[in-house]
Amino acid sequence: MQKKKLTKEQALQKLRHYCRYQERCRGEVKNKLFELGIHNDEHDEMIKELIDENYLNEERLALAFVNGKFKMKQWGRKKIHYALKEKKLNEETIQKALGQINNSDYLHILQKHVKEKYASLKHEQYLIRKKKTMDYLMQKGYETGLIKTFVEQLTN
C-alpha cells in the first residue's frame, strides 16, 4: 500500500514539530524530508523557511550540544569538535560554541578524571596504569598535551 503524499504545508508542520522537540541541524532535517517522501527540489525552500521562522538555528544547536556534552557527559573539546563536524556545522560556529566552555572548569574536570581513573587501576603496574589512564582520557576527547601534564603531575 502506498503512503499518502503530504502537502508542503503538512510537511512543514511536521518539520516544525520535529525542530521544536530538539535542536536539529540541516542534515537531520534533510533526512526527515526524505523520510516524509518530499522531493529534493523542495528541500532547500522548506529549510530556508524553517530558518526564517527560527525553528532551525545551527548556532543555537552548537551551543546546546557543547553545553550538554561537556556538562552532562564530560566530553573533551576534541570529541565535541568531531561530533559537531559530523553534523556538518561550519568551523566558525563550532569554535564559537567551544569557546563557551570555561577553561578552569575544563581543567578541573580533566584533573578529576585523571585522579579517578588512575586510582581505579591501583592493581596494575605503574606504566600500564599510566597508559590506560591516558587512553581513557583521549577516548573522552581531551587533548593529549593536557592529559600528559596532569598524569605526570599525579605520578611524580
The rounded distance, in Å, linking the Cα atoms of 89 and 59 is: 9
Q: Answer for the pair 118, 136: CB distance below 8 angstroms, yes or no.
A: no
Predicted structure pTM score: 0.88
pLDDT band at 111 (very low <50, low <70, confident <90, very high): very high
Average pLDDT over residues 50-79: 96
Q: Answer for the pair 114, 151: CB distance below 8 angstroms, yes or no.
A: yes
User: What is the average pLDDT value for the chain, to the nearest integer?
Assistant: 93
At residue 156, the pLDDT reads 79
96's grid cell? 564559537
At residue 39, the pLDDT reads 82
At residue 73, the pLDDT reads 96
Max alpha carbon distance in the chain (Å)? 70
pLDDT band at 105 (very low <50, low <70, confident <90, very high): very high
pLDDT band at 20 (very low <50, low <70, confident <90, very high): very high
pLDDT band at 71 (very low <50, low <70, confident <90, very high): very high
Positive or negative torsion for Cα 63, 64, 70, 71: positive
At residue 47, the pLDDT reads 92
The rounded distance, in Å, linking the Cα atoms of 70 and 16 is: 27
At residue 140, the pLDDT reads 97
At residue 1, the pLDDT reads 44
Q: Does residue 17 or residue 4 have the better pLDDT?
A: 17
At residue 3, the pLDDT reads 59
